[in-house]
A and B are shown apart, each in its own frame.
Chain A
Amino acid sequence: MSEYRIEVDIIACDGRGVCAERFPERIHLDDWGYPIIDPTPFGRSLLPHAKGAMAACPVLALRLERLSARPRRVRSAIVERWRHRSNVGARADRGKRPGYSRGFAPATTSTSPGRRRP
């Protein structure tokens, strides 16, 4: 699933304000009736609103930008979690050295989010 962002060509824009009516989740108007775009990416659920705003614009000043696909981000998040786990493991090992904070190591591992099943 992809994420999207909407952009306005402010030079082309006429300030009719139709876009803000069609896509209030990401577009509102300034004091003079020109669109201010919220750059927060949105998912497919808002795509119909975005496309409605684009089609309704009398000068076609809106453009849809497709951002990097979501699966890649998810994968990198998983990798991050694995890294975190291996770090935790290393710390736990260090804790087992003789005479070194015996009560400390198990506490660390038990609070580690890496040990919890997702």
Chain B
Amino acid sequence: MSAVARLVAGIDGSGPMSLADHRRTYPAPHPPGPRPDLGLIEAVERAGLRGRGGAAFPTGTKLRTVASMKRTPVVLGNGSEGEPMSTKDKVLMTYLPHLVIDGAMLAAAAVGADEVVIGIEDGATSSWRAMQHALDERSGPEPHVPARLVPVPARYVSGEETALVNVVNGGPGLPTATPPRPFERGVSGRPTLVDNVETLAHLTQIARWGPAWFRQVGTVDEPGTVMVTMGGAVHRSGVQEVELGTTMRELVDLAGGAPRGVSAILCGGFYGAWLSASEAHRLPLTNADLRTYGAGVGCGMIGVLPQDACGVQETARLLRWMAGETAGQCGPCVHGLPALAGAMEALAAGTAEFGVLDQLQRWAGQIEGRGGCRFPDGAVRLLRSALRVFAVDIARHRSGHTCAVQPVLSIPRRTGR
């Protein structure tokens, strides 16, 4: 288990891959016919591909569901990487735009869609330029489905699928009430396949090399490779492509090691959970293994907390940032997240009131499952994992201890609102 260059094999550092170079390896996808292409859906199902945007939903099942809808569907590629510590989607779109666009075209053929839309975060200019150039390259020589790019506000919740659909439909990019989910009624009220851009890139490779090839790496239940973004106190932070099932230890080694040691690992970014160093050490990166600790692969962001940092302080910073990222629509999120952040900050500062832990548990229970989208649930998951992993530190902070250490995880100062 280690780094496997499949998607990233095409990156040579000299800029985006051109259509001509791309076509040397990947033949042009068939233009979509009037009916869904069930052969491709079957291949994806046999490959066992799961979504790489965070939810890890089986892509084949999603394709089949959208293909079975009565109205002509739309394919919506999700390149709105709201997770500020993750850059893997931007790297893919910047260097391998055709791998992503081919995936979207194949998905369109698979479900019988007649339109492709790809949402890209505002401010990701190099990704936008590469993708736009890649679409322009195709306008002449190849038959293809009409495709366009849509700018998405640079905020965390805009990457949520109902929010993304909302942007494409001309809205402000906030999550909307479900049901209906996008696969029922999405872009222009039509059934919409929303897939992360990395998932689409894997689709291109499955169509080219087949499901058996896809399954050669990874685990039986979670085959293939995954793009991860290493951050925090590692020697070389940045994007890596690894097999699913690679252990955390190997991931840290791939990033050149952790010069200041490892006290905990944030797995899945803001929407993920903390793991203690001893838990993480030999833990394989699969959803099945991470579920034991309430975590998941998520967006593939792995943040390493060094031994000389304070997990309580880091969690307070993460929660405060999340509180600022609320869409401002649902009461439990609008009021609950600042409450969590405030209590955690008081803990970090050694000024927490007696009974702060009971209060946090109570609020966590009141917030969980009560948002219009799953964003507040992410904050609760992060908090609960922190209470578990940093229990000893929290006990010290409760008795007035403070840590005079520098913050480690790079969190943007203010959000684009």
Contact = CB atoms under 8 A, between A and B. Distances in A.
A10 B336 contact: no
Nearest to B176: A11
A13 interface: yes
A84 to B, nearest CB: 37
Interface in A89-110: none
Contacts of B257: none
B331 A32 contact: yes
B216 interface: no
A33 B175 CA distance: 22
Interface string A68-93: 00000000000000000000000000
B370 A36 contact: yes
Contacts of A33: 331
A10 B366 contact: no
Interface string B188-228: 00000000000000000000000000000000000000000
Interface string A1-14: 00000000111111
Interface residues of B, number: 17
B371 A36 contact: no
B332 A11 contact: no
Given A9-B177, A11-B176, A12-B177, A30 B366 contact: yes
Contact of A31 (B176, B329, B363): B363
A36 B175 CA distance: 20
Given A30-B366, A31-B363, A31-B366, A11 B330 contact: yes
A12 B334 CA distance: 13
B336 A32 contact: yes
B335 interface: yes
Interface in A1-40: 9-15, 30-34, 36
Interface string B169-186: 000000111000000000
Given A10-B370, A10-B372, A34 B331 contact: yes
Interface of B: 175-177, 329-332, 334-336, 339, 362-363, 366, 370-372
13 contacts: A9-B372, A10-B330, A11-B175, A11-B177, A11-B329, A30-B331, A30-B332, A30-B336, A31-B339, A31-B362, A32-B332, A33-B331, A34-B332
